[in-house]
């Protein structure tokens, strides 16, 4: 009988946990919901989902005593995946509706996506749609070096290692994550000539701005890679 991978999803009162749970289960995960620090600390694979405003998300984590437990998990070397708002909260701070402190797991800031194209044309915000994403050059180089046994692969593709050019994912957002270290930029997409962050990665910690649970076969393949390898 095939074994399943235990994956814990953080429940802090924000986000559609059901769709994330179902997607993970279809990828071979045995899903547990964590509503307290003990549940987070017991996790091996941890997923931090979320939709909505950054400040509300951080308040939900703090009020339930979850923020420090998530930081501890990140520092333990065990896999951590942030999705949408969950990815943004990995940052040092956000500029959404004021300045708000994040988990500071991956140094950087969350800023508005550009409202005009590089040619000055207005762009609709929030951005909503299916979009091909591209592995960032440094991440691609690190992945190649790791595959050749020439480095530790700090910026390697991880769950996106097998991502094919042209594969599209589903995005809905008004802000994006700019990591301080360009090596932590995992994937981007083109928006009016701007490169907008689609994914970040630092060691065992990965963040997706897109929703893999809503991205069809491509999204399930990405989640399957996370469940299998982190």
What is the Cα–Cα distance from 225 to 86, expressed in whole angstroms?
Answer: 19
What is the Cα–Cα distance from 214 to 62, expressed in whole angstroms?
Answer: 28
Tokens of 59: 């308040």
Per annotation, catalytic residue among 27, 84, 163, 176: 84
Tokens of 169: 């994912």
Contacts of residue 166, defined as CB under 8 A and 6 or more positions apart, other chains included, come to 132
For CA atoms 169, 170, 176, 179, give the dihedral sign: negative
Please give the distance of CA 55 from its chain centroid, rounded to a whole number: 17
> In this structure, are residues 132 and 165 in contact, taking their beta carbons and an 8 Å threshold?
yes
For residue 143, report the phi and psi dihedrals to the nearest 5 degrees. Answer: -65, -40
Residue 27 annotated in active site:
no
Tokens of 191: 């928006």
Residue 84 annotated in active site:
yes
What is the Cα–Cα distance from 89 to 111, expressed in whole angstroms?
Answer: 12
> In this structure, are residues 112 and 175 in contact, taking their beta carbons and an 8 Å threshold?
yes
Contacts of residue 1, defined as CB under 8 A and 6 or more positions apart, other chains included, come to none
Per annotation, catalytic residue among 45, 73, 184, 213: 213
Catalytic residues: 84, 211, 213
């Amino acid at each position: 009988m095939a074994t399943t991978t235990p994956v814990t999803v953080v429940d802090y009162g924000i986000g559609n946990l059901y769709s994330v749970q179902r997607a993970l289960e279809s990828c071979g995960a045995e899903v547990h919901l964590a509503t307290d620090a003990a549940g987070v600390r017991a996790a091996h694979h941890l997923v931090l989902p979320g939709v909505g405003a950054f400040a509300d998300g951080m308040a939900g984590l703090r009020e339930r005593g979850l923020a420090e437990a998530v930081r501890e998990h990140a520092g333990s070397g065990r896999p951590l995946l942030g999705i949408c708002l969950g990815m943004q909260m990995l940052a040092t701070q956000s500029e959404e509706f004021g300045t708000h402190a994040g988990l500071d797991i991956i140094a950087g800031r969350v800023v508005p996506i550009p409202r005009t194209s590089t040619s000055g044309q207005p762009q609709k915000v929030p951005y909503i749609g299916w979009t091909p994403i591209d592995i960032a050059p440094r991440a691609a180089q690190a992945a190649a070096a790791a595959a050749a046994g020439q480095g530790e692969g700090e910026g390697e593709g991880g769950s996106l290692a097998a991502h094919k050019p042209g594969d599209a994912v589903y995005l809905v957002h008004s802000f994006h994550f700019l990591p301080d270290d360009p090596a932590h930029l995992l994937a981007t997409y083109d928006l009016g000539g701007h490169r907008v962050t689609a994914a970040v990665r630092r060691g065992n910690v990965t963040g997706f701005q897109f929703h893999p649970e809503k991205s069809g076969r491509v999204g399930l393949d990405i989640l399957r890679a996370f469940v299998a390898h982190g």
